[in-house]
Structure 1
Amino acid sequence: MSNLRTLVFFATPAHDCSYIPGRQATTMFVDPRAQVDKRLYSQLTSLGFRRSGSHYYRPHCEHCNACVPVRLKVEDFMPDRSQRRVLKKNSDLTCRMVTASFTERYYDLYSRYIEQRHSDGDMYPPSREQFTSFLVEGATDSWFLEILDQDQLVGLAAVDKLDEGLSAIYTVFEPSYEHRSLGTFAILWQIEEANRLELSYLYLGYWIAECRKMNYKTRFQPIEALRDGHWQVMDQH
């Protein structure tokens, strides 16, 4: 089994940045041949890495530090008025955690979400292979949060369990349920789940000040950012 001292890392060639137009990006990733168990995955996450299928990566751009890893200390979180409204609005929904896997039911929801909400993004057009390689392959204590309106699947969130927290990987929802704010609801549910499991953190991936789609992450307070190798509460002023 690999460990931090034996890992080999690679860097991609510069490519167009997916988040900031006009910029070039470079990504560092762990050697795909490495055997990454839950303990090592947890250590990598605390160092700012993310998982996409079987790949563990983090931005490694020479002249840009815009992508900032962020996490929430769940025991200190108090929902604001807007978040309390989201919880109340969705109190009629049922949530359950199931082992991450491929089903046509999951893929149908994923496909509708990508086609209707992200047709201008890197993940369009969706495919079954894409769903599997992104959300199912490489699973290490990986789960799907099902959000159900009676028997209808209206939301699906990929969640990884780490040694000291949960990692929110990706969330999709029924486009016609946009008014329910299910993306926010999924995060609020994961915060509650981390508390129930007596875990300290919910890792939320990267926050980018110049990317409007990332703004929702700073609405969960107090949020911590990894800067210069240290996690610290992010200054919002």
Structure 2
Amino acid sequence: MRHLTQNMPQFYVTAPQPCPYLPGRVERKLFTALQGADAQSFNDALSRQGFRRSQNVLYRPSCADCNACLSARIRVADFKPTRSQRRVMKRNEDLSRSGTSPWATEEQYDLFRRYLDDRHADGGMADMDMFEFAAMIEETPVRSRVVEYTDQTGRLTATCLTDVLEDGVSMVYSFFEPDAARRSLGSYLILDHIRIAREAGLPYVYLGYWVRGSEKMDYKAKFKPLEVYAGGAWRDLDSDDPTAARDHPLDRDPIQDQVAAIVLPEH
């Protein structure tokens, strides 16, 4: 289904399909193409409104019967690591970080396959081949980097495809060595991206979506202060916040109203 208003990009809605996070629920996404000379400013503007990039598409959950998926970001200036998070940083002091252009390598793909086979063997990416992997990494019309982490032997241990936004860094997709459980590499990548954002003077680290009620997403709430995009504004995540607990259909605007409310960058 297509939705647009005058002088606006075209927005579409995906067909309903089973939710990958909450059993028995159905997901639907609002999405638009990301292309052309204004792609960077468009990505900046829509990321601030809860959208997420996948290759040359920007999308945001727009489910008819659920609003559990909320875009999440860490407020860098106020972040203070917990004792457990400090231990994670300590355990990974031996890793070396490097940033490269978005170019896929066989070494990355081998690590990606080990990660998927161990963590997401039944997921939507389980059958992704090298060509599809390369498209995921390389098809980006915005400022993106591949952040790689190697151990002291030079072995690739973790990788994150990262977008550089006007107000932060967005962790588009990350994967890591599944046999290194003691390192807690998933948490370490987030902690190091907080460090990257601080080094660059950027206020936020965008983490994608936090899903209320999904155990897979509980780890994101440990990075405080975590802000979520709900009701058209960013607010601190709080389980007692009534705006984060509504699941009534009348609490969601019709698609055409959602599209009309999107603020586009000025030209």
- Alignment partner of 1:99 out of 94, 98, 101: 101
- Alignment partner of 1:157 out of 154, 157, 160: 160
Does residue 198 of the first structure (1) align with residue 201 of the second (2)? yes
Q: Which residue of 2 aligns with 1:82?
A: 84
For residue 33 of structure 1, report the CA deviation from its aligned partner.
Answer: 6.2
- Alignment partner of 2:63 out of 48, 58, 61: 61
How many angstroms apart in 2 are the aligned matches of 1:211 and 1:108? 28
How many angstroms apart in 2 are the aligned matches of 1:191 and 1:33? 28
Q: Which has the larger radius of gyration?
A: 2
How many angstroms apart in 1 are the aligned matches of 2:37 and 2:232? 24
How many angstroms apart in 1 are the aligned matches of 2:178 and 2:141? 26
1:1-237 alignment, distance < 5 Å: 6-31=8-33, 36-150=38-152, 151-237=154-240
Q: Count matched residues.
A: 234
How many angstroms apart in 1 are the aligned matches of 2:229 and 2:7? 21
Q: Secondary structure at the match of 2:126?
A: coil
Unaligned runs of at least 5 residues, structure 2: 1-5, 241-267
Structure 1 runs of 4+ aligned residues shifted over 3 Å read 31-36
How many angstroms apart in 2 are the aligned matches of 1:25 and 1:117? 22
How many angstroms apart in 2 are the aligned matches of 1:222 and 1:116? 30
TM-score, normalised via structure 2 length = 0.84
Asked if structure 2 preserves the Cα contact closer than 8 Å seen for 1:55 and 1:138, the reply is no
User: Measured at CA, do residues 211 and 60 of structure 1 come closer, stay the same or move farther in structure 2, by a change above 3 Å?
Assistant: same
Query: What is the aligned-residue RMSD (CA, Å)?
Result: 1.6
Further displaced range: 17-26 or 185-194: 17-26
Asked if structure 1 preserves the Cα contact closer than 8 Å seen for 2:35 and 2:141, the reply is no
How many angstroms apart in 2 are the aligned matches of 1:153 and 1:188? 18
Amino acid at match of 1:233: D
How many angstroms apart in 1 are the aligned matches of 2:45 and 2:230? 16
How many angstroms apart in 2 are the aligned matches of 1:33 and 1:69? 22
Q: Percent same amino acid among aligned pairs?
A: 38
Amino acid at match of 1:106: Q
Amino acid at match of 1:59: P
For residue 167 of structure 1, report the CA deviation from its aligned partner.
Answer: 0.4
Deviation sequence 1:135-167 (CA, Å, 0-9, x none): 321241111111110210010011100001000
